[in-house]
Amino acid sequence: MEEESEVELQVEEEEPEVMKQPEQPPPCLSEPNTQGIIKGSDLFGYTMKAGFEFNIMVVGQSGLGKSTLVNTLFKSKVSRKSCTPNYEEKISKTVHLQSVSHIIEEKGVKMRLTVIDTPGFGDQINNENCWEPIVKYINEQYEKYLKEELHVNRKRRIPDTRVHCCVYFLPATGHWLRPIDVEFMKRLGNIVSIVPVIAKADTLTMEERLEFKQRIRQGLQANGIRVYPQKEYDEDAEERILNDRIRESIPFAVVGTDKEHQVNGNKVLGRKTKWGIIEVENVAHCEFAHLRDLLIRSHLQDLKDVTHNIHYETYRVRRLNESNANGLGLSVPCICVHCPSLES
């Protein structure tokens, strides 16, 4: 159910898809000219010629600051946690995917931003197969898009609910990738673009951070884990140089906050500690700015292109081959998380 009221300037809120409330939640914005107002020109590094969708999934155990980081990225309270009235943090016994959508408008052109959260992931003693609901959800969105494509009278613009990016939150342990990290990224790397980040990176010293990042890169390579941007998708030398710099920075060490502090007479987003203020957008303090540029400036369209041309196309070809081989129509769902082509 979609909420029709539009907040002055840019943002229009929708009710979360899964968490049904007796009444529609009020818009997250309470007053004009606050951080909650999203201005497209502040976010996007290019001119949007047509409306479009951007769907981002955040995955990680509870307490890693997923909601705060997403709010910081989009300069508004866009996370499910921020937009749910009387939200109460509970550790779910199973993984339940929940999403909340917003309309961001720039010069009359609208972008529908959907943030998909995965409460319950990694929070149990036994986390075996906790990635299966996530794999199922991603494939369901591909299936939904495919069925729309196959209609005789197709819509001029097919609604796009496919996940364009999965931001995976790693706890700042300073050690190696955990088994759950390896299993999740190995299984999801073939069906969605994964961007790993070190959550709450300010809990590590700069030396510990550099060493941890190097260990994670070694773990990714040793386990054959594909994270975005993949080398094989670089189209030319210029793009390869740009993406090589990004690959050298992965995983991004990030800090999120919605609080502002005065630094040298200027207001900056930051976390105040007894040692000083950690400025979120200062690249000398953390790599939040690099993550933001990747997701919503330099590579937003490429994330959508990789989703459509690589991940969705792989799913589409497999489904059509299965349909032809079995003599069955596509009305028969086949989104099994154990499919060999998904686990290869």
pLDDT band at 273 (very low <50, low <70, confident <90, very high): confident
Cα angle vertex 18, ends 16, 22, to 5°? 75
pLDDT band at 68 (very low <50, low <70, confident <90, very high): confident
CB atoms within 10 A of CB 255: 26
> 18 in a domain, yes or no?
no
**Number of H helices and number of E strands within the chain?**
11, 10
pLDDT value for 251: 96
Do the strands 98-106 and 109-117 form a parallel or antiparallel pair, or are they unpaired?
A: antiparallel
Q: How does pLDDT run across 225-266, given as a tens digit for each residue? A: 999 999 999 888 999 999 999 999 999 999 988 788 888 888
pLDDT value for 7: 33
Distance of CA 139 to the CA centre of its chain: 16
Distance of CA 277 to the CA centre of its chain: 27
Q: How does pLDDT run across 170-224, given as a tens digit for each residue? A: 999 988 999 999 999 999 999 999 999 999 998 899 999 999 999 999 999 999 9
Kindly report the CATH number assigned to the domain that includes residue 263. Answer: 3.40.50.300
Backbone angles phi, psi at 58, to 5 degrees: -115, 130
Range of the domain at 295: 50-80+92-121+157-317
> 278 in a domain, yes or no?
yes
> 35 in a domain, yes or no?
no
Asked if residue 41 lies in contact with residue 264, where contact means CB atoms within 8 angstroms, the answer is no
Asked if residue 193 lies in contact with residue 306, where contact means CB atoms within 8 angstroms, the answer is yes
β strands within the chain, DSSP E:
12-13, 52-59, 98-106, 109-117, 165-170, 194-198, 252-253, 260-263, 266-273, 276-279
Query: Hey, what's the torsion of the CAs at 141, 143, 146, 151, to 10 degrees?
Result: -110
pLDDT value for 92: 61
pLDDT value for 196: 97
Amino acid at 51: G
CB atoms within 10 A of CB 230: 15
Number of structural domains found in the chain: 1
> 179 in a domain, yes or no?
yes
Q: What is the mean pLDDT of the chain?
A: 79
What is the distance between the alpha carbons of residues 115 and 102, in angstroms, rounded to a whole number? Answer: 9
| Per-residue CA distances from 318 to 142, 146, 185, 218, 333 (Å) | 12, 12, 21, 32, 13
Coil, strand or helix: which one is 278? strand
> 150 in a domain, yes or no?
no
CB atoms within 10 A of CB 185: 24
Q: How does pLDDT run across 28-39, given as a tens digit for each residue? A: 332 332 333 355
> 134 in a domain, yes or no?
no
Q: Two tokens at 78? A: 């866009």
Q: Which residues pair with 271 in a beta bridge?
A: 278
Q: How does pLDDT run across 110-122, given as a tens digit for each residue? A: 788 899 999 889 8
What is the distance between the alpha carbons of residues 198 and 225, in angstroms, rounded to a whole number? Answer: 16
- Using a cut of 0.85, tell me whether the model's pTM lies above it: no
What is the distance between the alpha carbons of residues 277 and 273, in angstroms, rounded to a whole number? Answer: 6
The structure tokens 């980040």 sit at 197
Query: Hey, what's the torsion of the CAs at 255, 256, 262, 265, to 10 degrees?
Result: 70
